[in-house]
Amino acid sequence: MQRIHLNLGRALESRDQELKEIPEFAINYAGSLGAKYSEVRIQKDTSNATIIKNGEPQFSGFLRELGLGIRLIINGALGFASTNELDKTSIAETILSAASMARASANTLRRPILLSNAKASKAEWEVKEKRKLSSVGVEDKLKLLLDTDKSFNIKGGPKFPARILSLSETVTEKIYLNSEGTHILSRIPRVAFSFMVTAYSPSKGTAQRFNKKGESGGWEAVSSWNVPTFASEEAEILASVLTKGKRPPKGDLDVVLGSEVVGIVCHESCGHPFEADRVLGREAAAAGESFVKVETLGVRLGSEHITIVDDPTIPDSYGHYLYDDEGIRASRRELIKNGIVNTLLHNRETAAELGIESNASARAVAYNREPIIRMSNTYLESGDHNFHELIEPISTGVYIKSFMEWNIDDRRFNQRYVGLEAYLIRNGELKHLVRNPVLEITTPRLFMSVDAVGKDIAFSAATCGKGDPQQGAPVWTGGAELRLRHVQLGWA
- Piece of the chain touching another protein by CB under 8 A; list 44-52, 147-155, 230-238, 313-321: 44-52
Residue 269, interface with another protein (CB under 8 A)?
no
- Subset of residues 203 to 232 that bind another protein, contact rule: CB under 8 A: 205-208
| One of 120, 331, 468, 472 touching another protein (CB under 8 A) | 468
Residue 398 binds another protein, judged by CB under 8 A: no
Among 100, 121, 194, 396, binds another protein (CB under 8 A): 100
**Should residue 241 be labelled a site residue for another protein when binding is judged by CB under 8 A?**
no
Determine the length of the chain: 492
Check residue 296 for interaction with another protein (CB under 8 A).
no
- 416 is an interface residue for another protein by CB under 8 A: yes
353-392 residues near another protein, rule: CB under 8 A: 368, 370
Q: Is 299 in the site for another protein (CB under 8 A)?
A: no
Q: Cα–Cα distance between 326 and 370 in angstroms, integer? A: 10
The span from the CA of 88 to the CA of 85, in Å, is 9
Q: Identify the bridge partners of residue 165 per DSSP, sorted by sequence position.
A: 52, 195
Question: What's the CA gap between 489 and 108, in Å, rounded?
Answer: 48
Smaller CB distance to another protein: residue 58 or 224?
A: 58
Residue 162 CB-half CA count within 13 A: 11
| Cα distance between residue 117 and residue 352, in whole Å | 8
We find the least distance from the C-beta atom of residue 64 to another protein, in angstroms, to be 5
Is there binding between residue 454 and another protein (CB under 8 A)? no
Judged by CB under 8 A, the residue of 5, 28, 63, 304 near another protein is 63
Nearer to another protein, 100 or 313 (CB): 100
Please check whether residue 77 is in contact with residue 52, taking contact to mean a CB–CB distance below 8 angstroms. no
What is the footprint of another protein within residues 160-179 (CB under 8 A)?
A: 161-164
Q: Dihedrals φ, ψ of 274, to 5°?
A: -95, 5
Contact 142, 52 (CB under 8 A): yes
| 136 near another protein, judged by CB under 8 A | no
Question: Is residue 17 involved in binding another protein (CB under 8 A)?
Answer: no
- Among the listed residues 404, 428, 431, 463, the single contact to another protein using CB under 8 A: 404
- Could you tell me if 172 and 190 are in contact, meaning their C-beta atoms sit under 8 angstroms apart? yes
Beta carbon nearer to another protein, 242 or 330: 242
- Cβ proximity to another protein: between 256 and 480 the closer is 256
CB of 386 to another protein, least distance (A): 29
Least distance to another protein from the beta carbon of 113, Å? 8
- Rank residues 37 and 125 by Cβ distance to another protein and give the closer one: 37
Report if residue 405 touches another protein, rule: CB under 8 A: yes
- Please report whether residue 347 would count as binding another protein according to CB under 8 A: no
Which residue, 422, 416, 406, 425, is CA-closest to 445?
A: 416
One residue of 40, 77, 322, 482 binding another protein per CB under 8 A = 77
Among 35, 40, 42, 98, binds another protein (CB under 8 A): 98
Of 82-90, 125-133, 337-345, 386-394, the window that binds another protein (rule: CB under 8 A) is 82-90
| 15 sits near another protein (criterion: CB under 8 A) | yes
Q: How far is the CB of 422 from another protein (least distance, A)?
A: 12
For the CB of residue 81, give the shortest distance to another protein in the complex, in Å. 4
| 294 scored as a contact of another protein (CB under 8 A) | no
Q: Are strands 471-491 and 377-380 parallel, antiparallel or unpaired?
A: parallel
